[in-house]
Structures are given as structure tokens and as C-alpha cells.
């Protein structure tokens, strides 16, 4: 399941394909949107960004196309004259100056005035996006120490999209490892130094995953794992999916737990309970 960094990278690709160009063709499979298609003709795509797992395509008249890929949705980028090779069901197609972006298989798509996005039933439940909204370490720490979050165990809290949008299962394990915290830790029980370290780690690990296409491991650890013949999937992580393998930092076998009904990986020595 893609997490915030993967969705942000998809937004970047859509932005490169469409932004700064005027729409010459708009097609929607959904009847309620099809009626709006003509009103978007000639509009310029000003930006494409993300909020959690939602993609937001912004137009110069102040409207925003909200789309959520859910489990099966996928955007395909292509020349307007060349149809993608797929058997998926087309849901949305935007064409601007010879370039097309086609959304397949998704069902959660809607058009919103930008100033009403906060009323969207999904977005209204999300915290700020760690990659889109310019969250600072100070803001991250302040949010985590809010009364509604401070007494919750981090293993569950980090998957809740209310503090921050975009953290999923692999990021949760990697963040806790690099922060040196077990999933049972709570912000209220940490001193200011460890709170600040967690806030900075959340930002650093998420940013690295975005910049390095899902890689959260340290470069030297990944290189060593590669020399030992590990797959790229294993090399890219410090602890996630590495159960039974030695911790890169201390050699202790990584363990797998179930926390908040999702698998979590940790080093018992580096993240003592």
C-alpha cells in the first residue's frame, strides 16, 4: 500500500505532466462530474499536490479535483495520441496541450472549491501533510504533545492520520527505530529531548522516503546488506520486514509484532520497552 511519500511522488509526476498547461479535453466517467467537464475546458492546471493519500489537481478558477486511488486506482501519464495499454476501467482523463493523465479503477473522485476543501469528509479528518504543508520540527512536536495525542501509544498513534497525514506501516516501523522508541511509548512519558528527537525523526524519515523512492535505510547499512546478497526490498529498510535478521546497529535479531492490527518491526535492544 503506497504511503505519503509514494503519493507525493505520484503528485509530482502529474504536476510535471499537466501544470502550467491549459486543458483541451476533460472526460469523467461519473455522471455528477461529467456535467462539469465542459466548464474545465480551457482552464489551466496550476498545480498537483497531495494530502495524505489523496491527490489534489488545482485549476486556475479556484477549483480542485480530489482523487483517492484507494486499493486499485492508478494514474497513467501518456501522449494524447497514444492510449495506455491496460484493461482497467477509465474514470478520469485530463488532456492539456497534447499531454494526458488518465485515472483508472478509482471510485473516489470529486470537484471542490479550494476554499471548501477543509469540509471534505476525508480531508477534514486529516492532520497536516508532512511533505506538502511545510511542517517544521517545532510544529510536529507541538502537535504530538497536544492533550488528544500525548497519552496515546505511538504504535497506534502514528498510523492515525489525525496527527499527520501520510504515515503508513513501513514509515511507522522505521520512524520508531530511528527514534529509538518502542511502540508502547507515549509522548507524555518522554522528556523534552526525546520528544524533539521523535518529531525530527518523523520529518527526516518521511522526507528521505520521498527523496529516495521509499528507501529509509542508512546508505552504509543498505550497501552492506546489498553486498550480503539481500534483495532491494530488504536493503531499503532498517527494520521493516527484516524479522529474524540482525539489526544493522547492534546485531540483535529484529522482531515482528502486531500493533493496532498491523505488523510492526523493531529491534528489542535499540528500542527497549
**What confidence tens digit (pLDDT) does each residue in 88-104 have?**
999 999 999 999 999 99
Q: Examine the fold and report which residue of 100, 125, 150 is the final residue of a domain before the chain moves on.
A: 125
Residue 210 and residue 110 in one domain: no
pLDDT, tens only, 113-141? 999 999 999 999 999 999 999 999 999 99
Final residue belonging to a domain, choices 70, 100, 125: 125
- Is 273 part of a structural domain of the chain? no
Task: Quickly state the pLDDT bin for 72 (edges 50, 70, 90).
Answer: confident
In the residue annotation, 43 being an active-site residue is answered as no
pLDDT of residue 2 exceeding 90? no
Which CATH number do you get for residue 237?
A: 1.10.8.50
Domain co-membership, 141 together with 261: yes
User: Given 2, 84, 137, 268, which residue is catalytic?
Assistant: 2
The catalytically annotated residue of 153, 186, 262, 263 is 262
Mean pLDDT score of the chain, rounded to an integer?
Answer: 96
State which residues form the domain around 158. 137-266
**Which residue is catalytic, options 3, 128, 183, 242?**
3
- Which of 93, 125, 157 delimits the end of a domain? 125
- Examine the domain organization and report whether 143 and 164 are in the same domain: yes
* 70 in a structural domain: yes
Could you report the per-residue pLDDT of 184-227, keeping only the tens digit for each? Answer: 999 999 999 999 999 999 999 999 999 999 999 999 999 999 99
272 lies in some domain: no
121 is catalytic: no
Same-domain status, 63 and 168: no
Q: How many domains does the chain have?
A: 2
Catalytic residue among 6, 8, 9, 53: 53
Same-domain check for residues 89 and 156: no
DSSP for the chain, please give it: ---HHHHHHHHHHHHHHHTT-BEEEEEESSHHHHTTHHHHTT-BEEEEEEETTEEEEEETTSEEEEEE-TTT-EEEEEETTS-----SPEEEEEEETTEEEEEES--EEEEEEGGGGGGSTTGGG---BTTTS---HHHHHHHHTSHHHHTSBHHHHTTSTTT-BS--HHHHHHHHHHHT--TT-BGGGS-HHHHHHHHHHHHHHHHHHHHTTT--S-HHHHHHHHHTT--HHHHT-SSTT-BTSBPTTT-PBBEEEEETTEEEEE-TTTS--
pLDDT at 70: 84
Amino acid at each position: 500500500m503506497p504511503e505519503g511519500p509514494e503519493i507525493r511522488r505520484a503528485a509530482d509526476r502529474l504536476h510535471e505532466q499537466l501544470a502550467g498547461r491549459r486543458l483541451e479535453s476533460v472526460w469523467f466517467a461519473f455522471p455528477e462530474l461529467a456535467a462539469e467537464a465542459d466548464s474545465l475546458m480551457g482552464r489551466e492546471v496550476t498545480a498537483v499536490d497531495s494530502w495524505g493519500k489523496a491527490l489534489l489537481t488545482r485549476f486556475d478558477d479556484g477549483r480542485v479535483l480530489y482523487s483517492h486511488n484507494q486499493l486499485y486506482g492508478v494514474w497513467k501519464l501518456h501522449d494524447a495520441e497514444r492510449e495506455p495499454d491496460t484493461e482497467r476501467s477509465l474514470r478520469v482523463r485530463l488532456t492539456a496541450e497534447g499531454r494526458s493523465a488518465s485515472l483508472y479503477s478509482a471510485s473516489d473522485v470529486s470537484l471542490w472549491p479550494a476554499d471548501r476543501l477543509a469540509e471534505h469528509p476525508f480531508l477534514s479528518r486529516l492532520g497536516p501533510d508532512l511533505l506538502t504543508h511545510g511542517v517544521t520540527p517545532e510544529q510536529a512536536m507541538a502537535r504530538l504533545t497536544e492533550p488528544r495525542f500525548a497519552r496515546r501509544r505511538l504504535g497506534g498513534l502514528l498510523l492515525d492520520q489525525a496527527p499527520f497525514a501520510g504515515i503508513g506501516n513501513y514509515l511507522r516501523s522505521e520512524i520508531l527505530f530511528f527514534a529509538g522508541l518502542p511502540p508502547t511509548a507515549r509522548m507524555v512519558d518522554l522528556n523534552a529531548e526525546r520528544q524533539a528527537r521523535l518529531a525530527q525523526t518523523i520529518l527526516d524519515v518521511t522526507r528521505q522516503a520521498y527523496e529516495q523512492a521509499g528507501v529509509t535505510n542508512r546508505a552504509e547499512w543498505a550497501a552492506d546488506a546489498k553486498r550480503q546478497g539481500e534483495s532491494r526490498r530488504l536493503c531499503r529498510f532498517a527494520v521493516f520486514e527484516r524479522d529474524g535478521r540482525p539489526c544493522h546497529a547492534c546485531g540483535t535479531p529484529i522482531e515482528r509484532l502486531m500493533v493496532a492490527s498491523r505488523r510492526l518491526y523493531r529491534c528489542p535492544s535499540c528500542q527497549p520497552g
